[in-house]
Amino acid sequence: MQRDPARETVLGVVLAGGAGRRAGGADKGLLDWHGRPLAAAVARRLRPQVDALWIIANRNPAAYAVWADRVLADAVGGFRGPLEGIATALADCDRDWALFAPVDIPDLPSDLAAHMLRAARAAGAGVAVAHDGVRRQVLCMLARPALWRSARDRLQRGDAAVHTWQDACGVLEVDCSDADGGFANLNDWPAA
């Protein structure tokens, strides 16, 4: 089957590589949410929107493998934060774009990829991030793979803040305020 050159491909990446500090050190992606692991819920929302799905997980790769086409660990270990996972995925990405989602936002909008892609194309942006009407959802982001070097350079300088890297890349904030509850973060909820 020949690929339509006018259609850009999107890799979905679930960021589940954290140390789980706010979850008592637990592997957050494997915590139960409404009878299923968080990672399964996020993967289920993301998979129909993308061409392939990867999970960044620094622990329990076999457990995550059932929900992803590929499981990767951060290129540099030590739980250095989400920018490390972003750089790792972008460096290996074989699609036109990568759409990132954190493992603790299980009700992602079902049109997030299409909405972000339309906005990024229209603006000619290399990185776009969802804005829920109140704040930037820093880890709900669409990025071009070529940006992996800038992420890696920033990490090597000791700056692991995703939002400052996005700003340096000329981020486009995409209005997603109509996504009713789509960005509710587990960190904001009482324990389930």
pLDDT tens, position by position, for the chain (192 residues)?
344 445 899 999 999 865 455 555 567 888 888 899 999 999 999 999 999 999 999 889 999 999 999 999 877 666 567 999 999 999 999 999 999 999 998 999 999 999 999 999 999 999 999 999 899 999 999 999 999 999 999 999 998 899 999 999 999 999 999 876 677 766 643 444
Edge-to-edge strand list for the sheet holding 136-143: 70-72, 52-56, 10-15, 97-102, 136-143, 127-131, 172-175
What pLDDT score does 123 carry?
Answer: 97
Alpha helices in 66-147 (DSSP H): 82-92, 112-123
The 10s digit of each residue's pLDDT in 38-89 is 999 999 999 999 999 999 998 899 999 999 999 998 776 665 679 999 999 9
pLDDT of residue 58: 87
- C-alpha distances (whole Å) from 186 to each of 8, 102, 105 are 31, 10, 6
pTM over 0.85: yes
Q: Is 34 left (phi over 0), alpha (psi -120 to 50) or beta?
A: left
How many residues in total does the chain contain? 192
Give the tokens for residue 135: 């704040």
